[in-house]
A and B are shown apart, each in its own frame.
Chain A
Amino acid sequence: MNKLFTFVLSALALASLTACTTPTGGTGLGSSPGEYADLTVADERAAIAVETGYTAAAQALALSYRVGLVSPSVDLDVQRPDFCTYVLAGSYTPSDRGGRLAALDCRAYDAVTRMRRLYDAGQADSFAVAAAEALALVRQLVADVKGN
């Protein structure tokens, strides 16, 4: 799996390099000289790949719960309407696998939405980092759903 991460990081690095030559006119301004609104076709592809990867992982998780491969957590916190906010605040300590996976899904989705915000702001440098971070969490979610 380390090879996979290296491969994806390479793809994201390529996306950043391509940003120098094929600007497409982002939707916002960067906050530093290195963060211009110069997101590219390659960046969009990277974003689509991360979004699609997360979708696959989350769908697999949902199916795993529904078919009984993963038992829903006995933790009452999981039932909270603001469960993911609770998780991201560091307030939740899972006591079983169902809770750990639900919390990991929260963190992975949060990373994906953080990547979106940077994409929408046209911050190419930060976007590439956020995309890599999101993908790492997606990879962890996939591995944990599989029981690795």
Chain B
Amino acid sequence: MADLAKITLTVAGVMGAIEKVGASLPAFIDLFNQVIDAFSEDDQATLKDALEQARKNADAAHSAAQAAAKGN
């Protein structure tokens, strides 16, 4: 099984990655590769779970961004 922790985002990790994006192309490629290298070709169940988790993370991040935009 791939290590799902590899794609779990922490605030510090996100900010570190964001700070590098734009300033350093290799940094973003590293982030991209960390995501895609977390899984083997035949690890379908894990991929499905990871995609579902990624969707939930994105939904939560959108809600948080919109709440913060409203000053909540």
> Which of A's residues lie within 8 Å of B, judged by CB?
1, 3-4, 7-8, 11, 22, 24, 41, 44-45, 47-49, 51-52, 54-63, 65-66, 72-73, 78-79, 83-84, 98, 101-102, 105-106, 109, 112, 116, 142-143, 145-146, 148
Contacts and interface: CB of A to CB of B under 8 A. Distances in A.
A84 B66 contact: yes
B69 A98 contact: yes
B69 A51 contact: no
B66 A146 contact: no
B54 A56 contact: no
B70 A72 contact: yes
Given A58-B58, A61-B65, 17 more contacts: A41-B47, A45-B39, A49-B35, A51-B54, A51-B58, A52-B9, A52-B58, A54-B61, A55-B57, A55-B60, A56-B61, A58-B62, A59-B9, A59-B61, A61-B68, A62-B64, A62-B65
6 contacts: A44-B47, A52-B58, A55-B14, A58-B64, A61-B69, A62-B67
Interface of B: 7, 9, 11, 14-15, 17-18, 21-22, 25, 28-29, 32, 35-36, 39, 41, 44, 47-48, 50-51, 54-55, 57-58, 60-62, 64-71
A49 B36 contact: yes
Contacts of B18: 56-57, 60, 142, 145-146
Given A60-B15, A66-B68, A11 B32 contact: yes
Given A47-B51, A60-B15, A52 B68 contact: no
Contacts of B28: 4
B23 to A, nearest CB: 9
A65 to B, nearest CB: 4
